[in-house]
Chain A
Amino acid sequence: AQSVTQLDSHVSVSEGTPVLLRCNYSSSYSPSLFWYVQHPNKGLQLLLKYTSAATLVKGINGFEAEFKKSETSFHLTKPSAHMSDAAEYFCVVSDERQAGTALIFGKGTTLSVSS
């Protein structure tokens, strides 16, 4: 069965420094992987998606993620954090056990950015 594990529940960085949010996945198939962001009291916004076309995926707002099959990882990075990046981030895998497109979410990583 598919699953994702977000390795850090909370990450704190200073503005202008790099961001790394770690995610490992488990899947019997070639997975579809996503990163979503959630700002307080808001819904989820798609940052980027991996669909086997390229292992390095570029998303919105300067974020990117690299799919590493040998390590079963899909870590999210950004070269320089901005205050507006403070939010909850979810690593997500698409459930391929049955027809449909259900998403399986990790528990989330809270990103704090200090000035």
Chain B
Amino acid sequence: DAGVTQSPTHLIKTRGQQVTLRCSPKSGHDTVSWYQQALGQGPQFIFQYYEEEERQRGNFPDRFSGHQFPNYSSELNVNALLLGDSALYLCASSSGGAYYYSNQPQHFGDGTRLSIL
């Protein structure tokens, strides 16, 4: 049973560029969340997708956008990259769907390390 998979594992971009990160949820999961983890910090919630719509959003600018596909996989897009966007981007999946219980454990992928030069 495959867990959460993310691609690519590492990525190097320059300021002003755009990037797309990808995530496949754990089998049986229908909800995908994205987190940004800066070096030495705890992860910060970016947004969550369910039924191909953004259900919840953290305190991130509109440069951060996402998408969820019918097979529940998801993409995170970041436009106009800044040096401060350098971080580990984590994808997490969970089940429960419309009945979004706050005690649902989320399963995390190993992340995409994004470096901005």
A residues near B, CB below 8 A?
32, 34, 36, 41-46, 49, 51, 90, 94-96, 98-108
Contacts and interface: CB of A to CB of B under 8 A. Distances in A.
Contacts, number: 72
Q: How large is the interface on B (under 10, 10 to 19, 20 to 34, 35 or more residues)?
A: 20 to 34
Given A32-B102, A51-B103, A108 B41 contact: yes
Contacts of B43: 44, 90, 103, 105
B96 to A, nearest CB: 8
Given A43-B90, A90-B42, A101 B100 contact: yes
B115 interface: no
Interface of B: 4, 31, 33, 35, 41-45, 48, 50, 55-56, 58, 90, 92, 94, 96, 100-111
A90 B42 CA distance: 7
A100 B100 contact: yes
A103 B111 contact: no
- The SS class assigned to the A binding surface is loop
Contact of A101 (B35, B44, B94, B109): B94
Given A101-B48, A105-B42, A107-B42, A43 B102 contact: no
B111 A102 contact: no
Contacts of A90: 42-43
B42 A101 contact: no
Nearest to A50: B103
B50 to A, nearest CB: 8
Given A43-B4, A98-B56, A102-B48, A32 B103 contact: yes
